[in-house]
């Protein structure tokens, strides 16, 4: 029997991203639906979801760490929502990430989950990750567009 290792570039990048987007949005909507059916708040659901992730308080982030975290967050959003639906801009000492959530909204609607539930769920996950990295995440919705501002936490907040 021959064993062949499969590399990440087995599929063309665009095809792989489209396939991944479909799966990520479906599983995210499903996780939110299960949490809602279990009568969990979005914040409690996020904390349960993040339980297996080791998050320990880290050091105070600097501008370089903040930029890297903003770009990583934007990459995840691109994988979930498509590059044409995501923007990232630097605003003074913070970064603003915007993602149009139309496809995810459709998946959430099929399970009777409000887009606001997802936004609160994601905000709590991001808050937990940010605390460990010295970064403040603030997330809000404007219509179907998720806004996420990343900024450095004050020294006493870490």
Asked whether residue 3 is domain-assigned, the answer is no
Binned at pLDDT 50, 70 and 90, residue 145 comes out as very high
On whether residue 152 sits in a domain, the answer given is: yes
Is residue 140 in some structural domain? yes
Model's pTM, two decimal places?
0.85
Q: Is residue 143 part of a domain?
A: yes
Cα distances (Å, whole numbers) of residue 30 to 27, 52, 87, 111, 149: 5, 19, 25, 7, 26
Domain count, the chain: 1
**Structure confidence at residue 5 as a pLDDT band (50, 70, 90):** confident
pLDDT in tens, 49-99: 888 777 666 667 899 999 999 999 999 999 999 999 999 999 999 999 999
| Residue 75 within a domain | yes
Has residue 153 been placed in a domain? yes
Mean pLDDT, rounded, for 5-14 = 76
pLDDT of residue 22: 87
Residue 58 lies in a domain: no
Whether 62 is covered by a domain: the verdict is no
- Domain carrying residue 76: 12-51+67-157
Q: Tens digit of pLDDT for each residue in 88-143?
A: 999 999 999 999 998 899 999 999 999 999 999 999 999 998 988 899 999 999 99
- DSSP string for residues in 20-55: HHHHHHHHHHHHHHHHHHTT--HHHHHHHHHTTS--
């Amino acid at each position: 029997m021959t064993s062949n290792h499969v590399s990440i570039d087995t599929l063309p990048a665009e095809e792989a991203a489209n396939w991944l987007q479909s799966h990520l949005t479906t599983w995210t909507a499903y996780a939110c639906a299960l949490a809602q059916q279990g009568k969990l708040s979005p914040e409690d659901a996020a904390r349960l979801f993040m339980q297996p992730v080791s998050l320990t308080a880290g050091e105070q982030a600097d501008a370089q760490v903040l930029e890297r975290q903003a770009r990583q967050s934007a990459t995840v959003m691109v994988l979930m929502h498509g590059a044409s639906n995501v923007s990232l801009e630097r605003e003074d000492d913070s970064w603003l990430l915007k993602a149009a959530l139309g496809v995810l909204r459709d998946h959430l609607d099929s399970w009777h989950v409000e887009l606001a539930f997802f936004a609160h769920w994601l905000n709590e996950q991001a808050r937990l990750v940010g605390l460990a990295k010295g970064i403040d995440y603030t997330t809000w919705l404007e219509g179907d567009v998720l806004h996420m501002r990343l900024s450095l936490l004050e020294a006493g907040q870490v």
